[in-house]
Amino acid sequence: MAYIYIADPDSESRLKLQQYFSVQGFSVEGFSLLSDLGKAMQKLLPDLLIMELDFSDGDGFQFLRKTHIRYPLPIMIASRRVSESDRIMSFELGCDDFVGKPYSMKEVTLRAVSILRRRKKRVSPESVWYLRNQTFSINWDAHSASIDGREIRFTASEWKILSFLIGNAGSLVSRLQLLQSCFPESLESYDRIIDTHIKNIRAKLGAGGVEWIETVRGYGYRFRGSSVHS
């Protein structure tokens, strides 16, 4: 069963979630301070992090900026801050889901299970993809990638989009599918954000980026590489 970290300075909210997830069979550890959470992540990464945004020793967004690229793990925000700007910022920083307080314990659990299920459906941990004379190598667990031996660094959001495209390699993928899979809180403005992420991924793939990720006008995108799995 998955191992979950719950970070929330509100002891009542944190303990209720811990108890609820424990009853469901999850292994759970709680934190009231970002400093303690950071120390724990240096020792052991959870399968999922559920966290607030406001802490007495720091801001959740600053914590995400510093750590999420280093630790690209699944994250759900469960916060009393529910403005559109907070939601958008959360997803731009690579979070998988956002739930506003007050929330239903059952809903949070179902959303967590959905995140974990999506992660398990990813392609194999290591894979090699070919297109014309280029070779694209990926290690999903290590979050490392290279094209023709040149290292590529993707952001957390770019990894999500790339993972979904490659998981559906050869098939047409609509913007709506990308939104629903990579950013569950679908907002109209995210159409533009998806296109921006695709543009950035292509740029990192180099001159052949537009060939690796094909635009299907009026629909979405298609990953065109052929795979040989390690």
Structural domain ending residue among the three candidates 66, 95, 120: 120
Output the pLDDT for position 190. Answer: 58
**Measuring CA to CA, which residue among 184, 177, 223 is closest to residue 87?**
184
103 and 130 part of one domain: no
Give the residue numbers spanning the domain of 204.
126-229
The pLDDT-based confidence of 189 (bands split at 50, 70, 90) is low
d(CA 49, CA 73): 8
d(CA 170, CA 221): 10
**Other C-beta atoms lying within 10 Å of the C-beta of residue 200:** 16
83 and 47 part of one domain: yes
SS3 100: strand
Which range, of 30-44, 82-96, 123-137, 211-225, averages the lowest pLDDT?
Answer: 123-137
59 and 98 part of one domain: yes
Render pLDDT for 104-115 as a digit per residue (tens, 0 to 9). Answer: 999 999 999 988
105 and 12 part of one domain: yes
Whether residue 17 is predicted with pLDDT greater than 80 in this model: the reply is yes
50 and 99 part of one domain: yes
7 and 113 part of one domain: yes
Query: Please, what is the average pLDDT of the chain?
Result: 86
**Measuring CA to CA, which residue among 152, 142, 144 is closest to residue 206?**
152
Name the range with the highest mean pLDDT among 52-66, 127-141, 148-162. 52-66
- Where in 179-229 does DSSP place strands (E)? 213-216, 220-223, 226-229
Output the pLDDT for position 121. Answer: 56
Whether residue 63 is predicted with pLDDT greater than 80 in this model: the reply is yes
The CATH number covering residue 196 comes to 1.10.10.10
Task: Work out the average pLDDT over 8-15.
Answer: 95
Output the pLDDT for position 215. Answer: 93
- 10 Å CB burial of residue 209 (0-12, 13-18, 19+) is middle
141 and 220 part of one domain: yes
Output the pLDDT for position 174. Answer: 86
164 and 58 part of one domain: no
Strand 126-131 versus strand 97-100 pairing type? unpaired
